[in-house]
Structure 1
Amino acid sequence: MTVDLFIPCFIDQFYPQTAFNVIKVLEKAGVKAIYNPEQTCCGQPSYNSGYWDETKTLAQKFIGDFEGERTIVSPSASCTGFIKNYYGHLFPEGDQQFEAQNQLKARLFELTDFLVNHLQFTEFGARFPHKVCYHDACTALREYGIKKEPRLLLSKVEGLELVEMEDTETCCGFGGTFSAKFHSISTAMTEQKVEKALATGAEYIISTESSCLMNIEAYILKNKLPIKPIHIADILANGW
């Protein structure tokens, strides 16, 4: 099977190794990933800030960058959830891109959803001998709808001990431009999230969202705390 790989901005700019690990994981599952280097942002930041015309321009480019019939896989439920839920607002029925965005949404999947529910491939031979907790990112949980999939994949990792933190479904404080516009509130939310994670005794916080992890990591580094954030793709690619 061959798929197109959509790598979101945060991973492309700040965590490129995660992108390479996504390819490694997909290849282990028997999937060839094709990366179009012309791809750019899906438009979520500008849409959430109210710049809908600018977002439409980005979305039109995105549709063109991923034209065809191949399945599209991305290591971000936030970006995929945005495309699936909001491209229809940008290109409503009657718009010349209406059918194109509908066709694209139907073949776009977040990584853990794709592995668990479409490939039924969950055992990678990964090894990660650490105590970890999992952060349910807001968009992953509420807009894309994944919860059991990442946990199922983590349960197959040798040596990994998953402990659930209190209020795991509570926002980490990032929220895209929210963290910039409401810095004090965002920082308080991040502090609460990290303190709940530390209370479990976990060494790592895992998520499907690099944007959340970047926000959490900034707080951890500033306060020199004994816990690290890591993307689930980096876990699944570890130890083999």
Structure 2
Amino acid sequence: MSDLFYNAVPNATRVAPPLPTPREYPASKPAEVYLFGTCVVDLFFPEAGLDTIHLLEREGIKVHYPQGQSCCGQPAYTSGYTDEAREVARAQLKLFDEGWPVIVPSGSCAGMFREHYALLFKDEPQMLKQAQALAERTFELAEFLLHVCKVDFQDQGAPIKIALHTSCTARREMNTHLHGRALLAQLNNVERVEHDHESECCGFGGTFSVRMPDISGAMVADKTRALKESGADQMLTADCGCLMNINGALEKQNATLRGQHLASFLWERTGGKA
């Protein structure tokens, strides 16, 4: 979350996340995983969730989707409503009781599981143990495909120029930009173009965009201008909150450029066959 957010919301919980450190990955693919779909995917981009399932099933993995899942609790947490976020987190922890990996098609939500649930339960030893166990088996989708499934994608699409946007939170906490770049590099007909403001927030920030709409609007204006000037045919992101914000701004500008979730793009480019 950007400093603008914390300056605008004095009671927000400020936690400086540690820099991402190398983690040990399983030596082989698991037979079964959980999918945490995220509330934005569920409500606005269900195709991204379905394509995530398709990608995982094509790797021979059975995907479980607990029906009781909801938000990860990040909006409440970063707005300073720690007690409310803790109750949301408590409800999610009950749903993933098997030891299977939890795959999340959003770096920011995966980061909430990995970096912040333990902080929420630091004074509850039993819940802290569960939160730490969940953190160890939580993977952002691109990370899981790259380092656990060790995919070797074969491009079946026409030449295209792509601009990759990564959520600022996902970038800091989950290294999502590196995972996305590595997967796109496997696709022979995909040229990833650089763009200014790539590492900067798109202005969404969950409740930030509602609390500070003028600042948020200026930030997404900078982001969309840089994307349009990059010469990209399409924008990709692994975070649907950013996707919703950027696509909404592009639509309002009557721009032809649009974004897509990385999962859907990868599924389509690699044949789309289970």
| Alignment correspondent of 1:197 | 227
C-alpha displacement of 1:122: 3.5
Aligned match of 1:135 in 165, 172, 175? Answer: 165
Q: CA deviation at 1:169?
A: 0.5
Q: What displacement does 1:150 show?
A: 0.5
Q: Secondary structure at the match of 2:43?
A: helix
How far did residue 41 of structure 1 move? 1.1
The alignment partner of 1:157 has SS state of coil
| Distance 1:22-1:126 versus aligned 2 partners, 3 A rule | farther
Deviation of 1:5 (Å)? 0.7
Indicate conservation of the 8 Å contact 1:217/1:229, yes or no: yes
Work out whether 1:99 is the aligned partner of 2:121. Answer: no
Check the 8 A contact 1:46/1:55 in 2, yes or no.
yes
1:31 aligns with 2:61: yes
Give the one of 200, 208, 211 matched to 1:170: 200
**CA displacement at 1:96 relative to structure 2:** 2.7
TM-score scaled to structure 1, two decimals?
0.95
Q: SS where residue 37 of structure 2 aligns?
A: coil
TM-score (norm 2): 0.84
RMSD: 1.4
Residue-by-residue CA offset, 1:86-142 (whole Å, 9 max, x unaligned): 111110154331111111111110001111112211315453542210112101111
Matched residue, 2:248:
218
Question: Could you tell me whether the CA contact under 8 Å between 1:122 and 1:152 is conserved in 2?
Answer: no
Q: CA shift at 1:170, angstroms?
A: 1.1
Alignment: residue pair count: 240
1:119 aligned onto 2:131: no
Give the aligned residue type for 1:38: G
Distance 2:164 2:153 in 1: 18
Matches of 1:124 and 1:12 in 2, distance apart?
29
Identify which range, 15-24 or 147-156, moves more after superposition.
Answer: 147-156
Q: Is the CA contact 1:128–1:157 (under 8 Å) kept in the aligned structure 2?
A: no
SS in 2 for 1:3: strand
CA distance in 2 between counterparts of 1:93 and 1:131 reads 49
- Where in structure 1 are there 5+ consecutive unaligned residues? none
Pairing 1:110–2:161 present:
no
Q: CA deviation at 1:43?
A: 0.6
1:84 corresponding residue in structure 2? 114
Tell me: CA distance 1:4–1:126, structure 2 relative to 1, closer, same or farther (3 Å).
farther
Task: Tell which deviates more after alignment, 71-80 or 93-102.
Answer: 93-102
Pairing 1:49–2:79 present: yes
For 1:27, the aligned partner's letter is E
Which runs of at least 4 in structure 1 moved beyond 4 Å after TM superposition? none
Cα distance between partner residues in 1 of 2:162 and 2:253: 20
Identity %: 34
Q: CA deviation at 1:167?
A: 2.5
